[in-house]
Amino acid sequence: MSALLAAAQGHRFGPVVLRPVRPLRVGVEGLSQRMNRFISPAIVLSVFLLDRLSKARALDHLFGRPVQVLPFFQLTYAENTGVAFGMFHGNNIFFIVVSVGLITALLFFRKRIQGYGLVAGTGLSLVLAGALGNLYDRIAYGFVVDFFDFSFFPAVFNVADSSITAGAFLMAFGIRDTGKEGAAGRA
C-alpha cells in the first residue's frame, strides 16, 4: 500500500490527498423530495387508473347483477348523486364545484402538506386520486359509480372513496405525528 501511495505522490497530477469519506445521505428528506417529484404523481395516476378500470368493469358487468364474493361481501352496482352514504343526493352540480374547489385547495397547499413528510405526502396523493376519480364520474355520468358492498357497512363505495378515506387518515396522522418539531422546521 505504501508503494502505491509513493507512486501516486509522484504522479503528474500532484500528491494524493486522502479525505474522509462522507456518509451517503438517503434519509426521509431525500425520499420526500423524490416523492414530490416522481412517486406522488405515480400514486395519483395509478389509483386514478385503478378506479377508472374498476368502475368500467362495474358498469359493464354488475348492472342489475350483484356478485356474491364472500358471505359478508358482494359487488353491487349503485349510482350515487350525493356524497358518502348517499347523503344530499341529487346535488351533482354542487358536488362538482366542491370537488374542483377541494382539488384546487389541495394542489395549492401541496408543498406545505408534503413538508410534513412521507406519510402526509402519500395521504395527499391518495386523496387527490380519489377526488379526481369521483369528479370524473360526476362529469362523465352525472353520478358516482359505487360497487363495494359489505353487509356490516351501511353504504356501497368504490376505489376512489377508499383512497380518499385512507389518504385523509394518512394526512392527519402524518401531520399530527410530525408535531411541533416539524412545524418549527417549516417556519
Question: Is 137 tagged catalytic?
Answer: no
Question: One of 51, 137, 149, 161 is an active-site residue; which one?
Answer: 161
Checking DSSP bridges between strand 156-157 and strand 73-80, what pairing results, if any? Answer: unpaired
Question: One of 51, 137, 146, 149 is an active-site residue; which one?
Answer: 146
Question: Is 177 tagged catalytic?
Answer: no
Active-site positions read 146, 161
